[in-house]
Amino acid sequence: MFERLTPCVNSRHVAVSLVILLTFAALPAWAAGSLIISEFRLQGPNGAADEFIEIYNDSGADHTVAAISGTGYAIAASDGIVRCTIPNGTVIPARGHWLCANSGGYSLASYATADGTYTTEITNAEDPDGAGGNPPLARQGIALFNNNTGGGSFILANRFDAVGPVAEANVLYKEGAGLPNLTFFSIDHAFVRDECGKGGSIPTPGPCTISTPKDTDNNAADFYFVDTNGTSAGAGQRLGAPGPQNLSSPITPGSFASNRLDATVGNFNPPNVVRDFTSDPPNNSTFGTIAIRRRFVNNTGASVTRLRFRITDQTTFPAPSGIADLRSRTSGAVVVAGINDAVTCAATGAPATPPCTVTVQGTTLEQPPSQPNGSAFNCSMSAGTVTLGTPLASGASINLQFLFGIQQTGDYHVNLDLEGLPQGGGPGGSTFLQCGTDAGCAPTVTSIVRASPSPTGAASVDFTVTFSEAVTGVDASDFVLTTTGAIAGATITGVTGAGTTRTVTVSTGTGDGTIRLDVVDDDTIINGGAVPLGDVGAGNGDFNTGEVYILIHPPAVVSITRIGVDPTFAASIQFTVTFDESVTGVDATDFTFTTTGTVAPTVTSVTGTGATRIVTVATGGGTGTIRLDLTDDDSIIDVDTNPLGGVGAGNGSFSAGEIFTIIAVPLTIPVLDPRSLALLVLVLAGVGALVLRRL
C-alpha cells in the first residue's frame, strides 16, 4: 500500500515515510530518426492563436532532417496548410525536441521559444470572431510529414506522426479514434504524451512502466490532458502545466546517481524526508508540506550547466478520498547539521568527515505558465544553482530538496524525470521516484498464494511468493510458518525461483489444522537499487496475510515390528503395530499375512488403544516365515473420522513390517543329576548281567 499523509500530529505518520530510488531504465530500441508529436495545444490564455506543437526525437541517435522532397519536414493541419517546416540539415538530438508555435498568440516564449513559427490558426471549434452566435469552426488534426511539398506528398506512407480530435474526419491527421473534443476554454493547458505508462491516472499505484513518450498509434491511449487549474474540459481532469520544449531545452543528460542525503538514516526519516505539519493555505499547503532531500552525483563525464526535473506522475487534484493531493512548490536552500554519511560529508560537507553540516539547495517550480495552485503533471522543477557560470562538474555532487504542499491527506506517489544540459542523450533515462510503501519504491511482498489444492493431506505443498519487483537474497530464513490445530513438524524444505517470484516448498508434518507461509523481513531481501524489503529497518517488509492450506492428514501406519526373539519355535507370536496418530476401529479383520514354508498363522487377538496395537498371532505349526500386513478397508479412522490413508480402500495398506522366522520344535532330552545318572548306569548294567546269565 501507499504511505499515507495524515493531518494528525500524534499519528504514527508524523514523519512521512518515503523511499527515493534513482533508476536507469533501459529504453526500447527505436529506429534511428523516429519523430513524434509529444505535446501540443490549439488554444490558450491568449486565445485561439495561443498554439504550439512539440516534436520529439524518440530515438537514441541524433536525427538530421533530410526531406524526400521540398526544403524540410512539414507540420501541417488537416486543411493541408503547412504551419512549420523543420529545415533540411536541422539536427534534432537524441531525445531532443523541436518547437513550432503560432507567433500571433504563443504565450510561453519565456519558458521555451519556438524554433519555427506560423500565423494561420489551427481551428479547434472556437467562435470565428468571438462575438457569439456563429457556427464553431471545424476541429482540425495535425501531422508531421517527411516533406513539405504538400498535396499528393502528404500521404500515410510519408507521415511520421499525427494527432487529432474525434471530430477530425481525415484519418491522415489522427491516430485511432482521436482525442476527446475539448470544450473551448482559454486556459493554460496542453495534451501531453504519457511518459509514465499510467495514462495520467492519479490514484494508480506503483512505479512508471515506461520512461519515454508512449506511442501506440492511438491518440486517446497515448496522450492525457493537463491544465493549471485542474479544469474539467472534456478530456480528463488533472492539475498540471504545459511544458513545451525546443531544440535547446534540457534533455536526459546521460547518467546521474541519486543517494539519500544521509545513508546512515532510513529513507523515511529526517534529514532525508521532512514532514512539516504547519498549515499554509496561501501556498497550497493546508495540511503542511513534505520535503524530499537527496544528493545527486553527475556521472555523465562532462560538466552539466542546467539541471531540472519533470513530473510525469503525481497524486494531485482532483484526488479521490484516501489519495493525497500534492502540489509542487518552490523551495529555498536549507542548512542541515549532524550528517553522519561519510560520502555526503566528503562531497559536500563541512568538515569533510562526519558529523558534518551540508547545504541542501532548493528547487524552483518553473514558470510560465503561472501556477497559482501549485503544480503536478508535466511541470518542471529546476536546480537554480546549476548554471553555465556555475556548472556541476563531472563526478561532483549537489544536494537538492523537493517541496510539496499537501491539500488533501492520503496515499501518494511522485515520479520525476531528470533533464539537463549539455544534451548528452544517454542510453537510459534517469527517473527519480519517491513514494511511501507503494510498490516500486522499496520492494514489497504483493502476495503469497497456494500453488497446490486445499484442503490437502499431502506430505509437501508449495506456496508462490510474489514481490513488487525483482529481488535477490531470498532464502528459507526469510520465511516462517504459522499453524493452527494439531500440526506438528512442519518445515520449509526449499526456495526456488528468481526475479519477482519464488516457490517455497513446505513439508506439512503431521496432524490436522492450517498452515500459512509468512515473510519475516530482516533487510536481506533487496531490489536492484539495493533498497531492502519495505525499506531500511527490520520488520517493515513483513507479510502475514497470505493464503492458508487446510491440512487434513489421514492416519497412516508407521511400522509393524516383532515382539520377542527371532527366529522362534513358539506357537504364538506378537507384533506391535504403530500408527502416526490415535485411531479406532482396529480389529483382526484388518490384518493379513505374507508367509513362506508350512506355517498357517491366524490372528488370535488385537489389543491396545491410541496409536499402538499389539497383535497376537498363532503360528499354526510348521516352519517358515510370517509377516503381518495391514489391509486398509477404510474401517480404521482417526478422531476426525479420516480413514486410514484417506478415503478409498487400499491407500492406507502397509506391507513393509518385520518378519518372524518359525523353526521346528526340538527333541527334549532330560538333564539328570549325578545320583540319578549313577542309578541309571547301575540299572543298565544289571539288565545286561541278567541277559548274560540267561544265555
| Contact (Cβ atoms closer than 8 angstroms) between residue 185 and residue 45 | no
Q: Which pLDDT score is estimated for 299?
A: 87
Which residue type occupies 123?
T
Instruction: Name the helix (H) or strand (E) containing 480.
Output: strand 479-485
Domains, the chain, with CATH or none? 25-227 (2.60.40.1260), 251-435 (no CATH), 445-551 (2.60.40), 557-662 (2.60.40)
The β-bridge relationship of strands 116-118 and 97-102 is: parallel
- The C-alpha atoms of residue 400 and residue 139 are separated, in whole angstroms, by 44
Q: Which pLDDT score is estimated for 409?
A: 86
- The C-alpha atoms of residue 551 and residue 139 are separated, in whole angstroms, by 66
Closest CA to 371 of 189, 605, 138: 189
Which residue type occupies 329?
R
Q: For residue 543, give the DSSP letter.
A: B
Average pLDDT of the segment spanning 458-477: 92
- The C-alpha atoms of residue 175 and residue 597 are separated, in whole angstroms, by 90
Average pLDDT of the segment spanning 537-543: 87
Closest CA to 629 of 591, 597, 658: 591
Q: Which pLDDT score is estimated for 691?
A: 38
- The C-alpha atoms of residue 330 and residue 174 are separated, in whole angstroms, by 37
Give tens-digit pLDDT for 400-433.
Answer: 999 999 999 887 888 888 898 885 433 344 555 5
Buried-state track 41-75, b at ≥16 Cβ within 10 A, e below 16: bbbbbbebbbbbbbbbbbbbebbebebeebebbbb
Which residue type occupies 450?
R
Average pLDDT of the segment spanning 185-192: 90
The β-bridge relationship of strands 602-607 and 637-638 is: unpaired
| Contact (Cβ atoms closer than 8 angstroms) between residue 161 and residue 141 | no
Give tens-digit pLDDT for 143-161.
Answer: 999 999 999 999 999 999 9
Concatenating the DSSP letter of every residue in 316-337 gives: -SSPPTTB-EEEEE----EEEE
- The C-alpha atoms of residue 608 and residue 604 are separated, in whole angstroms, by 14
| Contact (Cβ atoms closer than 8 angstroms) between residue 297 and residue 399 | no
Q: Is 675 helix (H, G, I), strand (E, B) or coil?
A: helix
Give tens-digit pLDDT for 572-603.
Answer: 999 999 998 899 999 999 999 999 999 999 99
Under the banding of pLDDT at 50, 70 and 90, the label for residue 269 is confident
- The C-alpha atoms of residue 627 and residue 593 are separated, in whole angstroms, by 6
Dihedral of alpha carbons 434, 436, 442, 445, sign: negative
Which residue type occupies 582?
S
| Contact (Cβ atoms closer than 8 angstroms) between residue 163 and residue 40 | yes
Under the banding of pLDDT at 50, 70 and 90, the label for residue 26 is very low
Give tens-digit pLDDT for 41-77.
Answer: 999 999 989 999 999 999 888 999 999 999 999 999 9
- The C-alpha atoms of residue 531 and residue 536 are separated, in whole angstroms, by 7
- The C-alpha atoms of residue 202 and residue 224 are separated, in whole angstroms, by 12
